[in-house]
Chain A
Amino acid sequence: MATFVQLVVVGLLTGGVYVAVGVGFGLVWGVLNIVNLAHGALVVIGGYITWQLFTTMHLDPFLTLPVDAVALFVLGYALQRGLINRIIRAPLLFTFLLTFGVNLIVVNLLLLEFGSDFRSVTPAYSGQGLQLGSVVIPYVQLLSLGVAILLSALLAFILNRTRIGLAINAIAADRDAAQLVGIDLRHAYAVTFGLGAACAGVAGGLIPMIQAITPTAGEPYTLQAFVIVILGGLGRVSATVVGGLAFGLVEAFGQSIPGSGSVFANAIAFGLMVVVLVTRPQGLLGRLR
C-alpha cells in the first residue's frame, strides 16, 4: 500500500512537467491544426535561458520563468508570422516538415553555442522535501506541479476571458468565418503560436531542476506532448491537464514493473497512445467532433 501511494505521488509530481509541456502543444494543434515538431526544441531553449540566468546572475530558477515565457513568446510569434503562416494552406506533411526543419536548426545552433554537456539547475532547496509519513515529496517537483497548474489556469483565462483569446477560439471553430467578422488571422495565428511557445518556455525552465538537459533533450518531449494531448483529448486546456497527470501516473507505474525500466519509456508511451487512439480516439475527456 505504501509503495502504491508513493507511486501515485511520484506519478502526479512528474505529471506536473508533462502538463506544462502538453498545454502549449495542445493549443497550437487544436487551434492552428499544426503538430509542432519543434515544440521540444522550444522547451530546451527555455531550459537554457533558465540555466544561463541561474549560473551567471544566480537568479532563483522559478523567478526566471517569466523571462522564458516572454522570450519564447517573441520567438514563437516571429516563427509563425515569418515561416509557418506561409504554408498554412499546404498539405499537412509540409507543416510537419517545416517544423522539423526549425527543430533541426534550433537544436544544432544550441549545440554550437552550448556544446553537448549535460546542464542542470540546482538551487539551495533542490535536495530537500516534505516528509509525509513514509512518502517524501521534493519541494522542486511540488512547486513545478503548482506552476504547471497555474500556467494552465492562466492559459484557460486568456483563452476564455480576453479579446484575443476569444478570437483564437473563433479561429479554432471556423477559420473563414473568423476572418469574415474581422479577425486579423495572421496576427491571431502568430499570437496563438507565441502562447504555445511561451508555455513550452515555462516547461523548459522547470525541467533542468529535475533532469539535466542537453540541446538534443527536446525530442522525447515533442513525442510525449503528442501522447499527452491525445490521452486527454484535443481542444481544451483542462483535458490536457488530465492527460499530463495521467501520463505521469502511467509512466510511474510502468517503470515500477519488474524487468522494465526507463529504457522502455518510449515504447510504453507509444503503446499507450496506440491503445487510446484505437479504443477512444477522442481522448479521456474529449468530445467527438
Chain B
Amino acid sequence: MIASGRRWRRIFVVVGGILAAYALLAPLTSLDAAQSANVPLLADRLWFRIATYIAMFIVMATAWNIIGGIAGYAAFGNVAFFGIGAYTTGMLVAKAKWPFLVSLPFAPLVSAAFAGLVGLPLLRLRGHYFAVASLGVGVAVGELVQNIDYGGQPLFGGASGLFLPIYSVGNRDLFFFYLMVAAAAIAIGITWWVLRSRFGYGLIAIRENEEAASVLGVNTTAYKVAAFALAAALTGLAGGIFCQWSVFINQDNAFPIEYNVQMILMALLGGTGTVFGPAAGAVLLQLLIQFLGGSLPISFEIPFVSTDARPIVAQVFLGVLLVVVVIFVPRGVIDFFGGRSRLSLSYLRRSLRETSL
C-alpha cells in the first residue's frame, strides 16, 4: 500500500513535470526565430489562449485555497477581487495612460486593500453567514463598478465597458502566456511558503477550531484578514494581467459570477489545503469546460445535442460533476497520488458513508 502509493506519487511527479515542461517550452517554437530555423510548431495560438486561461485559473484556485482551503473560510465572492484588479490596471492604463507594467502592481495592492477593508467586518461572520455575505460582495461590487456615475459620466466606463490600448510587444500571445504562468508560479510558491510558516499553522488552527486557536495565542482576526487579503492580491494580479490581455473589460468578463464556483470546484477537485491540488484541479476542470464548450481544436459530436445547445449542456454536466465530486471525492483527486488512499469502489463507498445521514 505504502510502496504503491510512493510509485503513484513518482508517476504523478514525472507526468506532471513532462506536461509542465512541454507547456512552458512549446510556445517558444512559435517565435519567428524558431520558425526560420525550421523548428516544428508544437503549439498554435488557440492552445496558447487555452493555456493562458488555465494559468489564470491556477492563480485563482490556488488563491482561493489560501482563504477557503487552509483557513477554512468558504469565500464565495472572490471574483470581486479579480474584477477589482482588472479595473485597477485597466483604469490606470486606459484613463491615466500609465504603461502596463507600471500599473500592474497596483492591481494586487488595491485588491488586497479592498479585501482588508471588507474583510474586517465580514470575517467576524462564520459559516453560512460569511459565505453568503462574501457572495453578496462579489455581486454588489460588479454592479457598483458598472453603475457608478461621476458628474453625469460613468466613472468606470459604465455598461459599455473599458477599452485599453493594445500592448505592443513582439509576440503578444507568448508574452501574456508567460506573464500568467509567472503569476501561477508566484501563487503556488506563496502557498508552499504559507503551509510551512507560522502564519500557515495559525490558519490551519483557525480552520480546525477557531476558539482553541485564539486561546493558544493566534491573533485570529489579523490572521484571517491577512489570508483574505493575500488571496485577494493574487486574484487581483490575475485580473490585472487579464485586462491588458483581453484589451476590453466590462461587468460580464471582469466579474463573471460563474468563476466563483469554478475556482472552488477546482480547488476541491484537486484537493483543498494542499500546494498543488488546486493547480491540478484547475488544469483538469478548465480543459473539461473548454472541451465541452467546443473551444478545443478537437472536433467531436455529442449525440442528440445541437451546436447551439452545447454550452448549456456543458453547464449541466458541470453541475452533475459538482454533485458527484462533493458526494464521492470530498478530499480531491490528489488524495490518490499522495499515497494516502487508492481509488476503488470501497473508497467511494466509505466517503459516502462518512457524511451520510
Q: Which residues of B contact A112 (CB under 8 A)?
A: 309, 312-313, 316
B268 proximal to A (CB < 8 A): yes
Binds A, one of B122-130, B191-199, B217-225: B122-130
B288 proximal to A (CB < 8 A): no
Interface residue total, chain B, C-beta cutoff 8 A: 48
User: How distant is the Cα of A274 from the Cα of B139 in the complex, in angstroms?
Assistant: 14
B326 proximal to A (CB < 8 A): yes
66-119 of chain A: CB within 8 A of chain B? 83, 85-94, 96-98, 100-105, 107-109, 111-112
Q: Is the CB of B143 within 8 A of A263?
A: yes
B327 proximal to A (CB < 8 A): yes
219-253 of chain A: CB within 8 A of chain B? 219, 223, 226-227, 230
With A29-B128, A90-B355, A108-B312 given, is the CB distance from A97 to B322 under 8 Å? yes
Q: Which residue in B132, B322, B354 is a CB contact (below 8 Å) of A104?
A: B322
With A98-B326, A101-B323, A223-B132 given, is the CB distance from A266 to B74 under 8 Å? no
Q: Which residues of A contact B74 (CB under 8 A)?
A: 92-93, 96
User: How distant is the Cα of A227 from the Cα of B140 in the complex, in angstroms?
Assistant: 13
Give B129's nearest chain A residue, CB to CB.
Answer: A277
Q: Is the CB of B132 within 8 A of A35?
A: yes
A186 proximal to B (CB < 8 A): yes
Q: Is the CB of B313 within 8 A of A86?
A: no
Q: Which residues of B contact A269 (CB under 8 A)?
A: 136
Interface residue total, chain A, C-beta cutoff 8 A: 49
User: How distant is the Cα of A108 from the Cα of B311 in the complex, in angstroms?
Assistant: 9
Q: Which residues from chain A sit less than 8 Å from chain B, CB to CB?
A: 29, 33, 35, 83, 85-94, 96-98, 100-105, 107-109, 111-112, 185-186, 189, 219, 223, 226-227, 230, 259, 263-264, 266-267, 269-271, 273-274, 277-278, 281
Q: Which residues from chain B sit less than 8 Å from chain A, CB to CB?
A: 68, 72, 74, 76, 121-122, 124-125, 127-129, 131-133, 135-137, 139-140, 143-144, 146-147, 149, 257, 261, 264-265, 268, 309, 312-313, 315-316, 318-323, 326-327, 330, 352, 354-357
